[in-house]
Amino acid sequence: MKKAKGGMLSRLLGGRSRLLFRIVRAVKTYGLLLRDWWSGSYRPLPKRATALMVLTLVYIVSPFDLIPDFILGWGWLDDLFIGGWLLTRLDESLEDYRQWRAARPRDA
């Protein structure tokens, strides 16, 4: 008998678990980036990453969507897909920061 790979969440999500991981990682990494930027240890603030985060937040809260939010269920679907897509682009743009953070001494 073969042992099932991955946990229950990865079985439920199928191939989308990698996408969900990237979205969560992007939000977490951007938060760390802002903290390091605010403390002055990481400069400059990446313009592309900041623009993607702002665009994501504006699109999600904006009443102007591809599918209006008042159409229950369907209205939030475009927020989910477009917001997720923007956050995966954000994840890609944070690679320089991740490398800087990995090369930094742990006590810094």
Q: How does pLDDT run across 19-54, given as a tens digit for each residue?
A: 888 899 999 999 999 999 999 999 889 999 999 999
- The reported pLDDT for the residue numbered 42 is 92
Query: What is the DSSP track for 4-73?
Result: PPS-HHHHHHTTHHHHHHHHHHHHHHHHHHHHHHHHTSS-SPPHHHHHHHHHHHHHHH-S--SS-TTSTT
Rounded Cα distance, 19 and 7, in Å: 16
Q: Among the listed ranges 68-72, 76-80, 83-87, which one has the minimum average pLDDT value?
A: 68-72
pTM above 0.75, yes or no: no
Please give the pLDDT value at position 26. Answer: 95
Alpha-carbon gap, residue 24 to 49, rounded angstroms = 15
Is 72 a residue whose pLDDT tops 70? yes
- Read off the pLDDT band of 2 (50, 70, 90): very low
